[in-house]
Structure 1
Amino acid sequence: MSADLNVFITKERIESHTDETTDRSGEDENPLAGMTVAVKDNISTKNIRTTCGSAMLESYVPPYDATVVRRLTDAGATIVGKANMDEFGMGGTTETSAFGPTENPRAPERVAGGSSGGSAAAVAAGEADLALGTDTGGSIRNPAAFCGVVGIKPTYGLVSRYGLIAYANSLEQIGPIASTVEECASLLDVIAGPDEHDATTHEEGANTDYAAAADGNVEGMTIGILSDLVEGADEQVVSVFEDAVADLEAQGAETVEVELDSIEHALAAYYVIAMSEASSNLARFDGVRYGTSGGYDGNWNETFAKAREDGFGEEVKRRILLGTYALSAGYHDKYYKKAQDARAWVKQDFDSALSRADVLASPTMPVLPPKIGESLDDPLQLYFIDANTVPVNLANLPAISVPAGEADGLPVGLQLIGPAFGEEQIIRAGSALA
């Protein structure tokens, strides 16, 4: 099925180097023994190419494994391939991949979401038991919602980013995708924890048993309904969302309505910050240090420009240009500094809301999965699709997308947001539905 859906860019196995054993306490030393995992193609795998969905890195083979890859194989998992993705993580449909779009297993004429579309589709199609994605502004939760699976965007710093080819360092996190909340939490247990190679990782949350939190007990839990994010969603999506919330209430949860004054500025702030960081991060892909080398004649400027012209797709070029403009002399304070101020406001708003509720809820995606080709010609539509997910990355909080139901036979996701290192709370609430 993967060949038809274009799930993998590279289909190559990385076998576990552990034996299926238990320690003296009877606990499994290899919690993922026998499990297969798809790994997004911006996560480094030693001696196996890692393309970021870009022609720029079509032949790049990393000399080392990312920390999360090593932790997977140490836990007994078998990696079955590198999953398709939007080029350098820039997109919400996996259509910007230089290797073609991934189709949605639930509706092949529609997108699988992005940028971790191949990862979510691999799980939904049964091509892998579990998957790793990355989430800069919704890139795990978006495809999880569109493909009808579960995806967790962890708190910034819970999971090592060592070996991740970054798009926007201050926003990005590696996270798990699975068919159920419990399986997703089990994968998080394996990859979470500090790493000496990544100074942004924290001790907090490292020794938590996330799988144990998936007990489905929401009795007495307060769920804040993010009214601003509900109102902007498609009517069919809202209907499914409201039914899922009613289900949680029937199981003993209480709900309160929450408004975030900063939300209307979050999307603009996110794209200024993300594109600015992309402009800086992708400067290394010049055809000399990294990337395609055309062997062009002429001076350095011509060679550099030609390598980037040939190596990058249209969406990546667009974001680099906008980010470079936002950081340029005379515009830094006008755009980038204001965006960072807005980011601080978003964080304060979330902290205030989470003082009134245990978790916050909204539809994951405001729309149903678009048909392939519908949104590529309209970049603004592509950006607005992230409206419900990007605020979480600005605030560096954890969030989970769980299947809420269907509309017109298409999956609809419910997003639950928790306080920093509050993964247990969102896992507990999410497991009441999936």
Structure 2
Amino acid sequence: MTPAPDSAPAPAPFPDPQRAWAYLPASPLSGAADGPLCGLTFSVKDLYGVAGWPLRASTRAPVPDLGESVLVRRLLDLGASATGKTHLHEIALGITGMNGFGGTAHPFLPERVPGGSSSGAAVSVALGQVDFALGTDTGGSIRVPAAWCGVVGYKPTKDHPAWSTAGVLPLSWTCDHAGPLARDVSTIVRVQEALTGRQVEAQAWAGVKVGVWLPEGWVDGTVQEATHLFAARLAGLGATLEAVTFPDVLDAYSPIVLSEAARVHAEALRQADPGFLPFTLASLRQGQALTEAEVQAAFERRAAYRTRLDDLLTRFDVLLAPAVPTPPPLTGQEEAEVQEGRVPLRRAVLRLTAPFSLLGAPTAVLPSSAPFVGLQLVGRHGQDNRLLGLALGLEGQ
């Protein structure tokens, strides 16, 4: 456990008004010269351990050091070069990008948030500073910033062997996933192919069964229209579509994540004021206060939700759903205005994205017809290449 050092000016190969970068070394970590990812650059969310680079998790509180990330080392061995570390929502416990170093701003709308927790990851990709970014996703932390920054995000099946979380500071080992963001599906597919050694073929949509999950009242008019237009696009390519329902899973998700996050940061929480932002500290204290019975009940609800999702994914090849309830909110905005009224922003976002990290289903986020509004495609567990192939089949059409 090491104290987080003060933020220090870093050599900047490019301007950083968005405060996306947590650490920029004097020179990148170069990948192997003969690897299949040679020529690609990537940023690393500051939860991943990288030899010789600091680990702060965008907080001024002390955090555990879990050693070197298996995934970062693997990508370097495959030829990709690591440019530096990106900021995140403090310790990954949030969806806007706020942290102990000022927070990250949207890449193109400076008064708005980029989404989180992989905020700097999305910004580094959206601005073309790297070819792809490593993020993590516990409740939407790859998918939300991808959606609000207009890029592509991919959350693999939980515990996918190619996307190791070893050497990554956890938030919730039950829900954590490692995954990439990029400006196009093709780049994500290239990384997936290199990591797995298996080719991803572009898939046609003719005959694909799509369940459309658009919960009534949970989104605003812009997101609703974007979802309908995307569904119509799939129908035009020969897919069959049917509306589906799924419950709000936050009664399972929140106790599990908060209780596990409190255990991860237990040593820091022994201090009266460890250095977390007030919301983060209050959330961690809430997790500490949960009883074993309350957490066990949350896991029982999770099991029931998993059965329901499995049933849906038996009937459908993929699900289509909004990734965000509205376009990017203003910095400091605490509520979302959706069709059912004003809802706390965190709740409005997480109830759309948390089901698929809580339950481990592979999910891709693609841009829609509306600026900075992304949509989710959810695949069957373990069928990541099929999901990416379907996403690839849409690219350029």
Q: 1:178 aligns with which of 163, 167, 182?
A: 182
Deviation per CA, 1:312-356, whole angstroms, max 9, x where unpaired?
2212211211111113xxxx32x2122111111111111000111
Residue 35 (structure 1) aligns with: 40
Deviation per CA, 1:210-258, whole angstroms, max 9, x where unpaired?
xx23x15212111111143x64111111101111111111111111222
Residue 220 (structure 2) aligns with: 234
Residue 72 (structure 1) aligns with: 75
Instruction: Give the 3 Å change call, closer, same or farther, for CA 273–63 of structure 1 in structure 2.
Output: closer
Structure 2 residue identity aligned to 1:19: A
Q: 1:53 aligns with which of 35, 58, 61?
A: 58
- 2:349 and 2:89 mapped to 1: Cα distance? 15
Give the paired residue count: 374
Structure 2 residue identity aligned to 1:15: L
Contact 2:262 2:285 in 1 (8 A): yes
Residue 377 (structure 2) aligns with: 416
1:427 aligns with 2:388: yes
Q: How high is the TM-score relative to the length of structure 1?
A: 0.82
Structure 2 residue identity aligned to 1:305: Q
Residue 155 (structure 1) aligns with: 157
Q: 2:204 aligns with which of 184, 197, 217?
A: 217
Identity among equivalent pairs (%): 30
Residue 110 (structure 1) aligns with: 112
Q: 1:253 aligns with which of 235, 239, 263?
A: 239
| 1:376, distance to aligned residue in structure 2 (A) | 8.8
Residue 338 (structure 1) aligns with: 297
| 1:2, distance to aligned residue in structure 2 (A) | 4.4
1:277 aligns with 2:280: no
Structure 2 residue identity aligned to 1:346: Y
- 1:136 and 1:79 mapped to 2: Cα distance? 23
- 2:381 and 2:66 mapped to 1: Cα distance? 33
1:91 aligns with 2:94: yes
Contact 2:66 2:168 in 1 (8 A): no
- 2:220 and 2:128 mapped to 1: Cα distance? 29
- 1:388 and 1:432 mapped to 2: Cα distance? 24
- 1:207 and 1:18 mapped to 2: Cα distance? 17
- 2:183 and 2:361 mapped to 1: Cα distance? 22
Q: 2:30 aligns with which of 16, 23, 35?
A: 16
Deviation per CA, 1:130-189, whole angstroms, max 9, x where unpaired?
100000000000000000000011111112111100111110010011111121122233
Instruction: Give the 3 Å change call, closer, same or farther, for CA 153–2 of structure 1 in structure 2.
Output: farther
Instruction: Give the 3 Å change call, closer, same or farther, for CA 2–271 of structure 1 in structure 2.
Output: farther
- Structure 2 spans left out of the alignment, 5+ residues: 1-13, 337-341
Structure 2 residue identity aligned to 1:42: L
Instruction: Give the 3 Å change call, closer, same or farther, for CA 227–370 of structure 1 in structure 2.
Output: closer
Higher CA-based Rg? 1
